[in-house]
Structure 1
Amino acid sequence: MTTTMRAVDIKGDTGPATSLFISSSAPKPTASPGQAVVKIKAFGLNRMDLLQREGHYPLPPQAPKTLGVEFSGTIETLGPDVKEGFKVGDEVFGLAYGGAYAEYIAVSSHMLLHKPAHLSWEEAAGVPETWITATQAMYLVGDFQAGQSILWHAGASSVSIAGIQLSKAAGASAIYVTAGSQEKIDFCVKELGATAGFNYKTQDWAKEILSLTNGKGVDLTIDFVGQSYFQQNLDVAARDGRIVNLGAMSGTKLATAGVDIGAFIRKRVRYEGSSLRSRDEEYQGRLRDRLQEYLPRFEDGTFKIYVDKVLPWEEIVEAHQLMERNTSKGKIICTVD
């Protein structure tokens, strides 16, 4: 039995997209208690992969060196004490702390789900991180309630695509988005059902939303941008509004001069940062169980999985460069032969 496998590696440990390559000498994982080894069919790309590749992502201690947190495939072996209901040969998809850019991955069976027959390998690989992150932001952190309004920044990103659909199904009073092109805004509004969208390159989205809401603002904002949106997020927050920060694409350091934090007191705004990857298995498992409840909605068409591009993993450099261009609407997926 072979002890090595192919996996995506990084020349010099960190670097640009062009530093990615497929190594043929990575150690093949084995299943510890409670784990399954899955032969990977496809894996999804996430923005954290770009940050990790560049050396800017703080990895949790249990994360392996290899990139990738979501995947689909078949169970090859099972360790002792696995979650009931899984057997060798099962088609599954799931979430991991890392290691998905590879032929095989060892992962807790608590983070696996059976792949429904109506989902392709590519679709299934793009579900776990995306839908679990959106669920965490809305409910576990953002305390979303039916009848509230919500703003999703990066509206055509995979997490916000899931979030818009979740918000609509949960009875949001209004769903607003920001995006960088009219094409993306039209996609969010006409295809996904958002109430309105704003081009952050050409519009003052905070003023537009305040105008539309007669000055009330929004109850919940989900932000991936950070520094450059900090003031506007406070401005657009409704009384008792919540802002959930999941990323800092524009940077993390504020220029304090001119920043008005009065909304924290005047409007009782709550601003909270969060991440999923650093959470323990019990926390992630609760979200995995919530995801399982969504599966019938994928089948009946209530929820849709949007895959923008599928590439063979031999084109991993091109896949990362595509994500860096910020032109995609939905998931970028790589398949493993």
Structure 2
Amino acid sequence: MHAISILEPGGPEALSWREAPDPVPGPGEVIIDVAATAVNRADVLQRLGFYPPPEGAPEYPGLEASGTIGAVGRDVDDWAPGDEVCALLSGGGYAERVAVARELLLPVPEGTSVVEAAALPEVVCTVWSNVFMIAGLRPGERFLVHGGGSGIGTMAIQLAKQRGAEVTCTVGTEEKARRCVELGADHTVNYRTEDFVRAGEFDVILDNMGAKYLDRNITALAPGGRLVVIGMQGGTRAELDLGKLLGKRASVHATSLRSRPLEERAAIVASVRENVWPLLEAGTVRPVIDRVLPLPQAGEAHRIMESSGHFGKILLKTGES
């Protein structure tokens, strides 16, 4: 097979389309013949040398993929060759084939193509686990998601709105603001010209910025509010005002999916299949896809992501799909 290798940490040119060994399914694993994968910020960090894959994970980037099962390992009796699936990965999605534990598989939702399904696993599992399983967003609560035009943001807006929340998102352009409102956002804040703290107090905040926004996020929380940090685009170190946090009886959670034990990721995937897949199949929630590029053009996809000119997910498609 072929896969995208990182020859050495660096810019998008560090991504190289090369021959690679075919994966072999271990016990409880299947091989996916990949139709498409998706670009995530974590892939950019890995390319730069800041986010190596966990022990035992493939060296290639890619935290999600979709395709057709090509082979199954021992002890797999609930999936079969030919099944169309998508999967949450610890790495390896930027390849023509990938091995994945059966517990991390999801069927391609009815009404979604196998290529489009590559836009789902990472964002849906991230949003569902953080906003609902951890932060417990409830109907009627006020929800803020930073980066409303990102893959995470576009999914968070839809799921929070389906849950009956009042949704606010930050955006960088008026065009992104308009499209976020079309997805269900009640309010938008242009982070270039406005301060989200003035938009009101929020019961739940989903943050991808980290240190840069920490103090203002705490200020923007309502009493009993919950801040969930899932990214560090704005740095890793900041002071936390415990007095402000205690005064609001608020909480801060910092999480990632990639390094969690298999049983934790499996529980998230199972909850997503139960709670989100029916919404996808009913058409009330949908993947938002900015563009689809050939997998060998992963470097160009990274350039687009780093420029923040996209809206929704950037997909990489294999030649056979």
User: Which whole-Å deviations, capped at 9, do the CAs of 1:272-322 have from their partners, x for residues lacking one?
Assistant: 101111111111112211222322322322101111010011211111111
Alpha-carbon distance change, 116 to 143 in structure 1, aligned in 2, over 3 angstroms: closer
User: Which whole-Å deviations, capped at 9, do the CAs of 1:217-270 have from their partners, x for residues lacking one?
Assistant: 11110100012211110111000111000011011122x5xx754321111111
**What is the rounded CA distance, in whole Å, between the counterparts of 1:87 and 1:121 in structure 2?**
16
User: Which whole-Å deviations, capped at 9, do the CAs of 1:25-57 have from their partners, x for residues lacking one?
Assistant: x11110100000111111111110000110111
Q: What letter is aligned with 1:16?
A: G
Match of 2:203 among 215, 219, 222: 219
Kindly indicate whether residue 2 of structure 2 is the aligned counterpart of residue 11 of structure 1. Answer: no
8 Å CA contact 2:4, 2:296 repeated in 1:
no
User: Which whole-Å deviations, capped at 9, do the CAs of 1:184-231 have from their partners, x for residues lacking one?
Assistant: 111112x11111010111011212x13xxxxxx111101000122111
Query: 1:88 deviation in Å?
Result: 1.1
Alpha-carbon distance change, 58 to 21 in structure 1, aligned in 2, over 3 angstroms: closer
Match of 1:151 in 2: 144
Runs (4+) off by over 3 Å: none
8 Å CA contact 1:8, 1:66 repeated in 2:
yes
Query: 1:124 deviation in Å?
Result: 0.3
Alignment of 1:24-39 (within 5 A): 24=19, 26-39=20-33
Q: What TM-score, normalized to structure 1?
A: 0.91
Match of 2:170 in 1: 178
Query: 1:121 deviation in Å?
Result: 2.3
Match of 1:124 among 117, 120, 127: 117
8 Å CA contact 2:127, 2:155 repeated in 1:
yes
Which secondary structure does the structure 1 equivalent of 2:106 belong to?
A: strand
Match of 1:66 in 2: 60
Alpha-carbon distance change, 60 to 11 in structure 1, aligned in 2, over 3 angstroms: closer
Match of 2:253 in 1: 272
Kindly indicate whether residue 290 of structure 2 is the aligned counterpart of residue 326 of structure 1. Answer: no
Q: What letter is aligned with 2:126?
A: T
Match of 2:188 in 1: 197
**What is the rounded CA distance, in whole Å, between the counterparts of 2:112 and 2:67 in structure 1?**
12
8 Å CA contact 1:234, 1:261 repeated in 2:
no
Identity across the alignment (%): 37
Kindly indicate whether residue 81 of structure 2 is the aligned counterpart of residue 88 of structure 1. Answer: yes
**What is the rounded CA distance, in whole Å, between the counterparts of 2:255 and 2:134 in structure 1?**
8
**What is the rounded CA distance, in whole Å, between the counterparts of 1:90 and 1:59 in structure 2?**
27
Structure 1 residue runs without a partner (length 5+): 211-216
Whose radius of gyration is greater, 1 or 2? 1
8 Å CA contact 1:69, 1:100 repeated in 2:
yes
Which secondary structure does the structure 2 equivalent of 1:147 belong to?
A: coil
